[in-house]
Amino acid sequence: MKNYILLIIASLVLAACSSISKNDDPAREFPHYQVNLVVDPQTRGISVEGSLTLNLEKTTADTLVFYLERGMDITSFTFNGRDVASFDHSPSDIRFMPNAFRILLPTEGDRSLAKIEFSYSGVLNQPVEMLANQITGDYAELGMYLPWFPYAMTQFRDFTFDARVEAPPVYRVFGFGNVQELQGSTIITCDFPIADMVICLSRDVKILSAPAGNNQFTMYYHNFSNKMAENMVENILAILDQLGKWYGEVDMDLTLIESPRKLGGGYARTGGVVLSGVDENIFYSNLPGYERYFAHEFAHLYWKGADVNTWEDWLNEGLAEYSALMYLRMKFGQEEFDRRISNKAANMETVPPVWDFDRQNADYSLVNEVIYNKGPVLLSELEETIGQQAFLDFCRQLIHQQVITTAAFLEVLKQQQGENTASWFEQMLKNR
């Protein structure tokens, strides 16, 4: 209880601090969060005060729906100064946020610049083991899977943010974006659009930085030696170089966070990647497996934007996974590629088609078979049909046109390879 009271007091002190962001800009293209977070990983207690500024002209919704962890006690949640929020505590309808409740905020037809201000505190729920975000006494990884900030992910996905984080001094605070350590707090600023606010705290994290072209690559790591960290960075920079040659360079600083958790897997955001389950004892003996893992996650710098709550997610995951397999083919040879494609194709006849797959309600093993396995197998058949160079040209056009739906994917395929090829592949998605 004492620690929890200290969190509340600290949040009030932070609320009195001067703004850490520029003045609200009506011309902002993306919603912008400005938050003060006080967190104690030992107790899982957090206190948050902040605001979200967004241009309502960019949404047609009459009610904004935010998701937030159930353990939070709301002090205030206002829309342009008006106390109009209501709360829905029925089970979450988003599988990535199983412990979330909904905050409903009517906009009353307003289409101007809106400012949503919020204040709450509480204890984060014990994390779901298979989800990526975790909080323990030694390490905290906060983000959308353990939604500590109010996120209307079904209505707007990308945003920018300024976050001031205060934690006990034994923890280093880090995340995606520009990290500035101050006396008593850390400020993380993300001025590029991102789909998550990842805040990590660690007692024993190590850091390695290296140049990546004209930019900087920074890795935070826990589970392995400095020598292995150097080898990992070397391998990942080679992956980034090849992806850049195929799809165009990513002109920004990148961050890799190696999480000490064993479960939950990896995930990518605009500014970098979080990895888990990296084991030094088997890294060198299973280099193709690890390089596939790394290449898949960094390929998401290109393959992103499709709705992750629907079957359209096959575009994100299928194309990222196939990019990783293409990299393995280039580095380790056709036999390695063929073996992995054959393994993915083994159960194809017993799982549903990709088209209209119920991604939201399926269990993880079935999602893996359909989205991560069947999708890449079908892409391999497409590449074999049209040729490797034509397939790369097609992928570049998907990225150039920012394709995030299967309908748009098929339209680009039709433009480049003709109606017969597009129709054939559509039937593959529907019937295979």
Residues 7 and 131 in one domain: yes
The answer to the question of residue 351 being in a domain is: yes
CATH number at residue 360: 1.10.390.10
| Helix-then-strand count for the chain, H and E | 11, 19
Residues 225 and 185 in one domain: no
Nearest partner of 45 among 96, 9, 89, judged by Cα: 9
Residues 293 and 197 in one domain: no
DSSP 28: -
pLDDT bracket for residue 113 (50, 70, 90): confident
Q: Got the DSSP string for 93-113? A: S-TT-TTEEEEEEE-TT--SE
Residues 90 and 214 in one domain: no
Q: Are strands 254-258 and 215-221 parallel, antiparallel or unpaired?
A: parallel
Among 187, 202, 217, the domain-final residue is: 202
The answer to the question of residue 342 being in a domain is: yes
Using one digit for the tens of pLDDT, what is the confidence trace for 296-355?
Answer: 999 999 999 999 989 999 999 999 999 999 999 999 999 999 999 999 999 898 999 999
Instruction: Put residue 101 in one of left, alpha, beta given phi > 0 → left and psi -120 to 50 → alpha.
Output: beta
pLDDT score recorded for residue 174: 98
Among 202, 222, 251, the domain-final residue is: 202
Helix (H, G, I), strand (E, B) or coil at 347: coil
The answer to the question of residue 422 being in a domain is: yes
The answer to the question of residue 219 being in a domain is: yes
Using one digit for the tens of pLDDT, what is the confidence trace for 174-184?
Answer: 999 999 999 99
Asked if 11 contacts 38 with a C-beta cutoff of 8 angstroms, the reply is yes
Instruction: Indicate the pTM of the whole model.
Output: 0.91
Residues 354 and 291 in one domain: no
Nearest partner of 152 among 103, 87, 204, 82, judged by Cα: 103
Residues 376 and 233 in one domain: no
- Non-local (6+) Cβ contacts of 413 within 8 A are 382, 394, 421, 422, 425
The structural domain count of the chain equals 3
Residues 285 and 319 in one domain: no
Residues 267 and 366 in one domain: no
Residues 379 and 413 in one domain: yes
Residues 54 and 174 in one domain: yes
| Residues listed for the chain | 432
Domain enclosing residue 426, as ranges: 313-431
- The rounded distance, in Å, linking the Cα atoms of 283 and 288 is 9
- The rounded distance, in Å, linking the Cα atoms of 364 and 130 is 10
Residues 156 and 35 in one domain: yes
CATH number at residue 151: 2.60.40.1730
Asked if 384 contacts 337 with a C-beta cutoff of 8 angstroms, the reply is no
Residues 280 and 382 in one domain: no
pLDDT score recorded for residue 17: 38
- Non-local (6+) Cβ contacts of 274 within 8 A are 132, 141, 198, 256, 257, 258, 259, 266, 267, 268
